Structure 1
């Protein structure tokens, strides 16, 4: 067959290394189905493979865009079909369902076959977007977003689908293809959302767009994706037998524990104060359940565990997961904080501000594409790529602590470069999480568990950054704004009214402050921005601690150079009952004597 593209002399050298490595491990069962040279000549040009790749790309874009577009304009949506005290649940419903679903999709599809999990994910995403597009209340929007989140758990998991279908050496390239589909949403999401609001006068086109992308993904999954099914994975076994042996206790502990823990973290400082019983109890109960889950998986004699313990004992894999988890924390946290900085310190125009808000997502997406465009493999020794990425990302983001209301260019360049470095690290980490495992039949579990851990740590990181910001704002604003207002001539009795009105963003509320005039407003605005910048400065300094932990783990990650073989973990079939059983470049044999795909 014609394999995916080779590029240069380094590729030939890697082929030799890969051949040697494969020979050394030929006596071990690594879970690969075949080698690239044993596939039919037209395999990677077939409509089944090409259609599956389109399904993966459209699904990934849908999983990201289904929430990213709305997240930037939730206040606009609330003003239209609200107001509602439960607006925060729009974000919570997505975060919680994705975090829980990633591991479940990975593990269950490893055991029972992937086709219907990914068809269901696209269907749920499509239905969720239709519900949100027609929503007339925030409650309905929350319901629709819950469906989107459930679907996104499968849609974001496509990184292990593309990984298992191509030779190991081309997994970075396959990831790069998937990230291209996410570019409009992670890279340009806020700008697209604000453009819809500005030029169409509505937020609903955000969901109309996602309905189309989800529909494309669903059609491609149904028509072209025929991976190994349950009977191909487990010849002679019965589905009911696997269901009976499955780790139901572990499933309950994991889902209940993670759901409760993340809910407590997400409530803190938003729906409830951090010291409230609701927050403390949910966090503690969730943490205890997760500890119990870990003990159960380790010491119970399980035939089909939710998480194979051998995976957690692989310290190289664990280190990779920790690095990519801490790296992506920046994207999730600063996707929230950076827009606040943009409109709080620099911009009032929605279009220009929307473009600036894209820098975090665009930088991250550019880093992911850089790693996926063969650089992740061609640069070699992924361990040093991890170290370099975390050092650069930490340095650039720590440098954003120079933030002030007058240095937009410097701040924007630093945050973009920092997100690029950590986006690169995240992409390499996702690929390597499925490469360094001992058995490729666990690739869904490995990448799914990595995703669940990543989302959990990201939620923790976001909570930490948010708490730091709110605590610092509670100090800097009272210390800096009142003296400036009083010096400019505002009566001290009106200071509290000014701070409340300014925080609301309402021009009418500011104009109603007793004693206000243009000079006082200018002085108060200047002081408020500088006080806010002082608070943001502390947040960016705190990123150094996270980066330090990531750098330490980076030294214990794996060098995947010798693993860049031409082995393929799974192949597509023309129908569910057609399976490749023979070998040979031009003499593939199939059950039922059916033609190859």
Structure 2
């Protein structure tokens, strides 16, 4: 590409000295620091991100497998089975709920810390958290302990996800989506694709604890591998006028407390709502919801006005089209995906199949859709371009097919399977497009916190969605299931005096308990058939309400996506940083910063030098 053919850089009120703009202006950097060919990747970069054939070398991508695949995807597929074995199914919704809350908090914390200390040590600490959380889960004796384990793994996930900032900055702009898609691929094969089958096989042939054993194995391997090959810049923020200790003291601890407490209290109210002990009008529901909302609002008011290094930086939120609307999009996508990840396998169990293998096979299109939408399509997003339109299309597909689940239940298993391919498959694409677009708009010095915020809102959406949709499901089933089963049993001639024993037997038979009706007098084959049909119809009625409830949120996300500023023009050969040390086949950047070759007789000047010279000129 000749100079005349390259896109013209955007105008600026005040020119920056030489390559200092790489840090402050991603648009100008993408257009001006745009070599004819992409920079050759070093072996350290390749092993850190891709490391194609030996699966155990995909260290950054591998880091997600333990806390995400083991701690979330596999666990959500067998929530009911875990709760049943441990004798407490009332708290199973808190397994994905705790995971989502913890990850939403740690995303932003880790993003800020990685801008101060670099991505390497933050990523390694997250991998250690994953090992601890997996050990807690593997040794759990109660459902509550499993919730704690999932919460720890969720916290680890948010920390490890700084790779969503670390991976793009190591790659040319137009290849960033490939690196992000690779991380999704590490989770998809085989975990997202066959996760339900694997989880149910573990339950039937070994133990659900193997979900956590798998997380331990992967987390240990990824920790060792990352420690050996991943050496990104040690200080991405490059605020050389402050020490790291000064920056640590300026972290927004009050904002973290307000955000965490507000979100948690709000979700407690939503989760309790509609149960027999906590009706919607009760103070135990209204008080936590109202208090949670007020504390949550107070968090943003405080953050926008008081702290020097806020959890939610106002200057980032002022980038409405470049960044803020992406938070709305990813929040809604997280609401739908994370809640459905737990709800859909339960729907298969309650309405279609009780055999673990058949449940897994029924959910297989869901997993394949995750792989196609989260790995294959995002990997070619830079070829398709029109990133904004890709996002709108993906959101529309998600909206339509999640709503169409209601057409399939409880009678059409083939439609139930087919619709999940599209309804769940778009989440990975939507999420990676949000990271991709934000990375092309946000300055390098804020990339960590920006990526952290996208992760925060994604997981916060998952927490809210999990609470809302499970509350709808539980409240409707609590009313409809006993009523319908009782009516069907009496109509088939079942004695009214035995109804108290019948409903637990129906629940057991529907979920695979052998000979559940054996001890029930009057439970003829006809009674068994009609009550099971009534049970499934009640759940079908409840699930329809859940799926319909997603529609307004999906519409909001599509409207928000229409305002996204497309970043396709910045898909250039510009690379933001290099590895600080390349342990395989090269030396990396000696200064620890991205070095830029200037046309000054071949001299090389580091960001630190150029940044200092720019400050003197200013």
TM-score w.r.t. length of structure 1: 0.86
Instruction: Indicate yes or no: 2:597 matched with 1:584.
Output: yes
CA apart distance, 1:140: 4.8
Residue 513 of structure 1 is matched in structure 2 by 520
Of 115, 130, 135, which residue of structure 2 is paired with 1:110?
Answer: 115
Residue 396 of structure 2 is matched in structure 1 by 391
CA apart distance, 1:126: 1.7
Of 559, 563, 574, which residue of structure 2 is paired with 1:567?
Answer: 574
Instruction: Indicate yes or no: 2:198 matched with 1:185.
Output: no
Deviates more, 1:322-331 or 1:32-41: 32-41
Of 191, 200, 203, which residue of structure 2 is paired with 1:197?
Answer: 203
Residue 50 of structure 1 is matched in structure 2 by 47
Residue 342 of structure 1 is matched in structure 2 by 348
> Does structure 2 retain, via aligned residues, the 8 Å contact 1:38–1:583?
no
SS in 1 for 2:596: coil
Pairwise mapping of residues 70-109 of structure 1 onto structure 2 (< 5 A)? Answer: 70-78=75-83, 80=85, 89-109=94-114
Q: Distance in 2 between matches of 1:195 and 1:527?
A: 29
Of 427, 431, 448, which residue of structure 1 is paired with 2:436?
Answer: 431
Query: CA 1:231 to 1:156, structure 2 compared with 1: closer, same or farther past 3 Å?
Result: closer
Of 480, 498, 501, which residue of structure 1 is paired with 2:505?
Answer: 501
CA apart distance, 1:342: 0.9
Query: CA 1:171 to 1:267, structure 2 compared with 1: closer, same or farther past 3 Å?
Result: farther
Query: CA 1:180 to 1:474, structure 2 compared with 1: closer, same or farther past 3 Å?
Result: same
> Does structure 1 retain, via aligned residues, the 8 Å contact 2:363–2:417?
no
Residue 377 of structure 1 is matched in structure 2 by 382
CA apart distance, 1:193: 1.3
Query: CA 1:231 to 1:452, structure 2 compared with 1: closer, same or farther past 3 Å?
Result: closer
> Does structure 2 retain, via aligned residues, the 8 Å contact 1:226–1:572?
yes
Query: CA 1:46 to 1:210, structure 2 compared with 1: closer, same or farther past 3 Å?
Result: same
CA apart distance, 1:243: 2.9
Q: Deviations over 1:488-522 (max 9, x none)?
A: 22123334532333234445553333311111111
Compute the RMSD of aligned alpha carbons.
Answer: 3.2
CA apart distance, 1:350: 0.9
- Count how many residue pairs are aligned between Structure 1 and Structure 2: 573
Pairwise mapping of residues 241-280 of structure 1 onto structure 2 (< 5 A)? Answer: 241-268=246-273, 273=278, 275=280, 277-280=283-286
Q: Distance in 1 between matches of 2:453 and 2:240?
A: 26
Query: CA 1:349 to 1:588, structure 2 compared with 1: closer, same or farther past 3 Å?
Result: farther
Q: Distance in 2 between matches of 1:397 and 1:92?
A: 20
Residue 68 of structure 2 is matched in structure 1 by 64
Query: CA 1:286 to 1:538, structure 2 compared with 1: closer, same or farther past 3 Å?
Result: closer
Query: CA 1:477 to 1:85, structure 2 compared with 1: closer, same or farther past 3 Å?
Result: closer
CA apart distance, 1:325: 2.0
Deviates more, 1:262-271 or 1:107-116: 262-271
Q: Deviations over 1:210-262 (max 9, x none)?
A: 22211121112211222222398233532222234443433332333334334
SS in 1 for 2:440: coil
Query: CA 1:435 to 1:263, structure 2 compared with 1: closer, same or farther past 3 Å?
Result: farther
> Does structure 2 retain, via aligned residues, the 8 Å contact 1:104–1:448?
yes
Instruction: Indicate yes or no: 2:509 matched with 1:522.
Output: no
Query: CA 1:164 to 1:272, structure 2 compared with 1: closer, same or farther past 3 Å?
Result: farther
CA apart distance, 1:101: 0.4
Residue 546 of structure 1 is matched in structure 2 by 553
Q: Distance in 2 between matches of 1:464 and 1:211?
A: 32
> Does structure 2 retain, via aligned residues, the 8 Å contact 1:48–1:574?
no
Pairwise mapping of residues 303-318 of structure 1 onto structure 2 (< 5 A)? Answer: 303-316=308-321, 317-318=323-324
Instruction: Indicate yes or no: 2:467 matched with 1:463.
Output: yes
> Does structure 1 retain, via aligned residues, the 8 Å contact 2:66–2:214?
no
CA apart distance, 1:372: 2.0
Of 365, 368, 373, which residue of structure 1 is paired with 2:371?
Answer: 365
Query: CA 1:130 to 1:459, structure 2 compared with 1: closer, same or farther past 3 Å?
Result: closer
